[in-house]
Amino acid sequence: MGTANLQVWITQRGDPCRIATTEHFVYVLECCTGKPLRWCDRVYSGIKTKCGHVEFDIPPGCYIVGAVESTAGIPPLGNCLTHIAMVRVNCGDHACVTLFDPSLHLCGTWLGAAINTYVAGTHGGPQINRDVLGAMQNAGAAVAKMLQMIEKDPLSEATNALAAPGKKAPKKR
Protein backbone atom coordinates (compact mmCIF):
# COMPACT_ATOMS: atom_id res chain seq x y z
CA MET A 1 0.00 0.00 0.00
CA GLY A 2 1.48 3.36 -1.04
CA THR A 3 -0.70 5.88 0.80
CA ALA A 4 -1.00 6.62 4.50
CA ASN A 5 -4.23 6.70 6.47
CA LEU A 6 -4.80 9.76 8.66
CA GLN A 7 -7.46 9.95 11.34
CA VAL A 8 -8.20 13.35 12.84
CA TRP A 9 -10.06 13.80 16.13
CA ILE A 10 -11.10 17.19 17.54
CA THR A 11 -11.77 17.94 21.19
CA GLN A 12 -14.75 19.70 22.66
CA ARG A 13 -14.05 23.45 22.93
CA GLY A 14 -11.91 24.10 26.01
CA ASP A 15 -11.95 20.43 27.10
CA PRO A 16 -8.96 18.34 26.03
CA CYS A 17 -10.51 15.16 27.48
CA ARG A 18 -13.72 15.02 25.41
CA ILE A 19 -14.28 14.63 21.68
CA ALA A 20 -16.36 17.32 19.96
CA THR A 21 -19.91 16.69 18.90
CA THR A 22 -19.94 19.80 16.72
CA GLU A 23 -18.91 20.05 13.10
CA HIS A 24 -15.40 21.22 12.18
CA PHE A 25 -13.50 21.50 8.93
CA VAL A 26 -10.05 19.91 8.70
CA TYR A 27 -7.18 21.07 6.55
CA VAL A 28 -3.84 19.47 5.68
CA LEU A 29 -1.04 21.87 4.76
CA GLU A 30 2.23 20.95 3.09
CA CYS A 31 5.09 21.64 5.51
CA CYS A 32 7.32 23.16 2.84
CA THR A 33 4.82 25.65 1.45
CA GLY A 34 2.12 26.09 4.12
CA LYS A 35 -0.46 25.66 1.36
CA PRO A 36 -3.30 23.12 1.37
CA LEU A 37 -2.26 19.70 0.10
CA ARG A 38 -3.39 19.11 -3.49
CA TRP A 39 -3.16 15.49 -4.58
CA CYS A 40 -4.98 13.26 -7.01
CA ASP A 41 -7.58 15.91 -8.00
CA ARG A 42 -8.39 16.69 -4.35
CA VAL A 43 -7.66 19.70 -2.18
CA TYR A 44 -7.31 18.72 1.48
CA SER A 45 -8.97 21.82 2.93
CA GLY A 46 -12.42 22.22 4.48
CA ILE A 47 -12.92 18.48 5.03
CA LYS A 48 -16.07 18.17 7.12
CA THR A 49 -15.97 16.15 10.35
CA LYS A 50 -18.75 14.10 11.86
CA CYS A 51 -18.87 13.73 15.64
CA GLY A 52 -15.41 15.29 15.94
CA HIS A 53 -13.75 12.82 13.55
CA VAL A 54 -12.68 12.38 9.94
CA GLU A 55 -10.38 9.91 8.20
CA PHE A 56 -8.76 9.92 4.76
CA ASP A 57 -5.74 8.71 2.81
CA ILE A 58 -2.83 10.99 1.93
CA PRO A 59 0.48 10.48 0.17
CA PRO A 60 3.63 9.95 2.26
CA GLY A 61 5.06 13.20 3.59
CA CYS A 62 5.21 15.75 6.39
CA TYR A 63 2.11 17.84 7.01
CA ILE A 64 0.53 20.46 9.27
CA VAL A 65 -2.99 19.43 10.30
CA GLY A 66 -5.57 21.73 11.85
CA ALA A 67 -9.28 22.43 11.89
CA VAL A 68 -11.63 25.37 12.01
CA GLU A 69 -15.17 25.76 13.24
CA SER A 70 -16.24 27.70 10.16
CA THR A 71 -14.79 27.89 6.67
CA ALA A 72 -15.91 31.53 6.52
CA GLY A 73 -13.30 33.96 7.76
CA ILE A 74 -9.61 34.10 7.05
CA PRO A 75 -8.87 32.40 3.66
CA PRO A 76 -7.92 29.72 2.86
CA LEU A 77 -8.57 28.16 6.25
CA GLY A 78 -11.50 29.84 7.98
CA ASN A 79 -12.06 30.93 11.56
CA CYS A 80 -11.84 29.64 15.16
CA LEU A 81 -8.67 27.63 14.69
CA THR A 82 -7.85 24.56 16.77
CA HIS A 83 -4.29 23.91 17.81
CA ILE A 84 -2.31 22.36 14.99
CA ALA A 85 -0.35 19.12 14.80
CA MET A 86 2.63 18.07 12.76
CA VAL A 87 2.34 14.62 11.25
CA ARG A 88 4.90 12.62 9.29
CA VAL A 89 3.53 9.60 7.44
CA ASN A 90 5.20 6.95 5.31
CA CYS A 91 3.77 4.39 2.93
CA GLY A 92 1.27 2.16 4.72
CA ASP A 93 1.27 4.19 7.94
CA HIS A 94 -1.82 4.77 10.04
CA ALA A 95 -1.57 8.06 11.93
CA CYS A 96 -3.96 9.55 14.42
CA VAL A 97 -3.91 13.18 15.60
CA THR A 98 -6.08 14.91 18.17
CA LEU A 99 -6.57 18.64 17.74
CA PHE A 100 -7.36 20.66 20.84
CA ASP A 101 -10.05 23.31 20.37
CA PRO A 102 -9.11 25.98 22.97
CA SER A 103 -11.56 28.37 24.60
CA LEU A 104 -11.27 32.12 24.07
CA HIS A 105 -10.08 32.47 27.67
CA LEU A 106 -7.31 29.93 27.20
CA CYS A 107 -6.16 31.56 23.94
CA GLY A 108 -6.15 34.97 25.64
CA THR A 109 -4.26 33.64 28.67
CA TRP A 110 -1.44 32.25 26.56
CA LEU A 111 -1.39 35.28 24.25
CA GLY A 112 -1.03 37.49 27.32
CA ALA A 113 1.80 35.30 28.63
CA ALA A 114 3.61 35.52 25.29
CA ILE A 115 3.24 39.31 25.22
CA ASN A 116 4.53 39.61 28.80
CA THR A 117 7.51 37.39 27.99
CA TYR A 118 8.53 39.63 25.09
CA VAL A 119 7.86 42.86 26.97
CA ALA A 120 10.01 41.61 29.88
CA GLY A 121 12.82 40.83 27.42
CA THR A 122 13.00 37.17 28.44
CA HIS A 123 12.13 35.68 25.05
CA GLY A 124 15.73 34.92 24.11
CA GLY A 125 15.53 36.73 20.77
CA PRO A 126 16.78 40.04 19.43
CA GLN A 127 15.87 43.32 21.10
CA ILE A 128 12.41 44.58 20.19
CA ASN A 129 11.94 47.97 18.52
CA ARG A 130 10.58 50.59 20.95
CA ASP A 131 7.43 51.18 18.84
CA VAL A 132 6.70 47.45 18.72
CA LEU A 133 7.32 47.20 22.46
CA GLY A 134 4.82 50.01 23.11
CA ALA A 135 2.21 48.31 20.93
CA MET A 136 2.81 45.04 22.78
CA GLN A 137 2.36 46.77 26.15
CA ASN A 138 -0.96 48.21 24.97
CA ALA A 139 -2.04 44.81 23.62
CA GLY A 140 -1.05 43.13 26.89
CA ALA A 141 -3.19 45.54 28.90
CA ALA A 142 -6.14 45.00 26.53
CA VAL A 143 -5.80 41.20 26.74
CA ALA A 144 -5.64 41.34 30.55
CA LYS A 145 -8.80 43.48 30.64
CA MET A 146 -10.60 41.13 28.23
CA LEU A 147 -9.70 38.11 30.34
CA GLN A 148 -11.31 39.70 33.39
CA MET A 149 -14.59 39.95 31.47
CA ILE A 150 -14.89 36.48 29.90
CA GLU A 151 -15.74 33.21 31.58
CA LYS A 152 -12.91 30.87 32.50
CA ASP A 153 -13.04 27.23 31.55
CA PRO A 154 -11.61 24.40 33.73
CA LEU A 155 -8.35 24.17 31.75
CA SER A 156 -7.82 27.94 31.99
CA GLU A 157 -8.34 27.69 35.75
CA ALA A 158 -5.83 24.84 36.03
CA THR A 159 -3.14 26.49 33.90
CA ASN A 160 -3.72 30.10 34.96
CA ALA A 161 -0.84 30.02 37.43
CA LEU A 162 1.48 29.02 34.60
CA ALA A 163 0.58 31.73 32.11
CA ALA A 164 -1.58 34.42 33.69
CA PRO A 165 -1.15 37.77 31.91
CA GLY A 166 -0.06 40.54 34.23
CA LYS A 167 2.43 38.33 36.03
CA LYS A 168 6.03 39.08 35.34
CA ALA A 169 8.00 36.54 33.34
CA PRO A 170 10.88 34.86 35.17
CA LYS A 171 14.19 36.69 34.89
CA LYS A 172 17.00 35.27 32.77
CA ARG A 173 19.86 33.71 34.64
Position 148 scores a pLDDT of: 92
- CA–CA distance, 62 with 122 (Å, rounded to integer): 32
Which tens digits make up the pLDDT trace of 25-77? Answer: 999 999 999 999 999 999 999 999 999 999 999 999 999 999 998 777 666 66
113-129: pLDDT as tens digits: 888 888 887 777 777 88
**Does the predicted TM-score (pTM) go above 0.95?**
no
Using DSSP, state whether 134 is helix, strand or coil: helix
User: Of the candidates 2, 3, 9, 1, which has an alpha carbon nearest to the alpha carbon of residue 96?
Assistant: 9
Q: How far apart are CA 141 and CA 171, in angstroms?
A: 20
Q: Residue by residue, what is the 3-state secondary structure of 112-132? A: HHHHHHHHCCCCCCCCCCHHH
Q: What is the pLDDT of residues 100-159, one digit of tens each?
A: 999 888 888 888 888 888 888 777 777 788 898 899 999 999 999 999 999 888 888 777
Do the beta carbons of residue 136 and residue 119 sit within 8 Å? yes
Taken in order of first residue, the domains within the chain and their CATH numbers are: 4-99 (2.60.40.10), 104-163 (no CATH)
Q: What is the pLDDT of residue 146?
A: 93
User: What DSSP assignment string belongs to 60-111?
Assistant: SEEEEEEEEEEEEEETTTEEEE---EEEEE-TT-EEEEEE----HHHHHHHH
CB of 52 within 8 A of CB of 8? no
Rounded CA separation 2/24 (Å)? 28
Alpha carbon distance 111, 103 (integer Å): 12
At 47, is the secondary structure helix, strand, or coil?
strand
Q: Which residue has the higher pLDDT, 168 or 140?
A: 140
